[in-house]
Amino acid sequence: MPVELNHTIVSVRDQAAASEFLTGLLGLPPAVQWGPFHVVEVDNGVSLDFISTDRPFEAQHYAFLVSEDEFTTIFGRIVDAGLDYWADPRHTRAGEINHHDGGRGVYWSDPDDHSYEIITRRYGSGGWNP
């Protein structure tokens, strides 16, 4: 059996709100509750398992590979929601998208300060274009 990422746990203040925020923007089915988690499954079978906590946690980064059409739709939802977005992971190029590897990419944050990214080309597949 090949090694595959199956799931990752995402610590948040409110798992229902955090999972709804992500599924709404990405156009995914609602999270499914499993034990203490709200599980968001993406199309390749990997899941983000949201768990509420009162403990401090580090903000994390989660990137999703999407088609050009999906990018347009998701980016439209980000803009319509009035969210800040950036072309870079350090969030210094506000209000821009990037065109790395001949595709498009954008970053945004959730209320828990986790950074999300959508890209249309795998990094390294076509050259860096800052």
The string of pLDDT tens digits covering residues 6-53 is 999 999 999 999 999 999 999 999 999 999 999 999 999 999 999 999
Mean pLDDT value of segment 86-108: 96
Mind listing the pLDDT tens digit for each residue in 71-89?
999 999 999 999 999 999 9
CATH fit for domain 1-55, picks 3.30.720.120, 3.30.450.20, 3.40.50.300, 3.30.420.10: 3.30.720.120
Task: Classify domain 58-130 by CATH architecture.
Answer: Roll (3.10)
Domains in the chain: boundaries: 1-55, 58-130
37 near 89, Cβ under 8 Å?
A: no
Mean pLDDT value of segment 98-122: 96
pLDDT at 130 > cutoff 70: no
Mean pLDDT value of segment 110-114: 97
Say what the pLDDT of residue 106 is: 98
